[in-house]
Amino acid sequence: MASLKVAVVPVTAFQQNCTILWDSASMRGAVIDPGGDAERIARAIAERGVRVEQILLTHGHLDHAGGAAELREILTAGQDASALPIIGPDERDAFLLANIEQQAAIYGLAGLRDVTPDRWLSEGDTVDIGPHRFEVLHCPGHTPGHVVFFCPAVRLAQVGDVLFQGSVGRTDFPYGDHATLMRSIREKLLPLGDDVSFICGHGPGSTLGAERRENPFLRG
């Protein structure tokens, strides 16, 4: 399954890791968390020759979902936009996705738009990127509807803002809950195995084993 390829494109002033995943044999792919700078993401897709078939969202924060609607319009120009579905997160983040434009105005960010997914995701669902199947894990705490995408065959996860190298997701929002976040990490992520590599929402990725041993939030 070495044909799964990854490119990370940091977007917006928040330097959020938009991820392009594709199968090198078929060039079928997906974009995870296009938070903004949609034209730059589209150029990165075109440079690699990827045929994007879906846009996946880990959660509803503006820096992860604010560019989804525009990116779909760019990638489907002159075509039926419904052919490129926006999928995820869990429906419990609907209130965040409906409030992106208002939040963007507070931060002075232009061009970010509210979005309604074509399909919500739940624990136990799967999404396929070419022949690569990703399991959906509901991992709340940072947001109520946060999901993680995990491909057992290649031992890779896209964890959004649940876990970082040396840190964990923020929970200082009215809807955040630190105890719930830590339970998501300990009960959903760490059991996947120390050898699992992950891409996170900001900054460098890591492995679950390295974080279990070295992350100050997880030791002890």
pLDDT digits (tens, 9 = 90+) for 85-121: 999 999 999 999 999 999 999 999 999 999 999 999 9
Please answer whether residues 148 and 159 qualify as being in contact, where contact means their C-beta atoms are separated by less than 8 angstroms. Answer: yes
Cα torsion for 177, 179, 184, 187, to the nearest 10°?
Answer: -170
β-partners of residue 158 are 149, 199
**Percent of the chain residues topping a pLDDT of 70:** 99
Mean of pLDDT over the chain: 96
Q: Could you report the per-residue pLDDT of 53-88, keeping only the tens digit for each? A: 999 999 999 999 999 999 999 999 988 888 999 999
CA dist 135 and 131 (Å) reads: 13
Which segments of the chain does DSSP mark as H helices, in order? 38-48, 62-65, 68-75, 94-97, 100-107, 178-184, 208-214
Sign (positive or negative) of CA dihedral 14, 194, 143, 135? positive
pLDDT of residue 81: 84
Q: Which CATH number fits domain 4-214: 3.60.15.10, 3.40.50.620, 3.40.50.300, 1.10.1740.10?
A: 3.60.15.10
Average pLDDT of the residues in 122-141: 97
Helices H / strands E in the chain, number of each? 7, 13
Task: Give the model confidence (pLDDT) of 34-55 as tens digits.
Answer: 999 999 999 999 999 999 999 9
Element (H, E) at 156: strand 156-160
Structure tokens at 70: 């525009």
The full set of domain ranges for the chain reads 4-214
Q: 51 in helix, strand or coil?
A: strand
Instruction: Please name the residue that has the structure tokens 């996947």.
Output: 192
Ranges assigned E (strand) in 24-146: 28-32, 51-56, 86-87, 126-129, 132-138
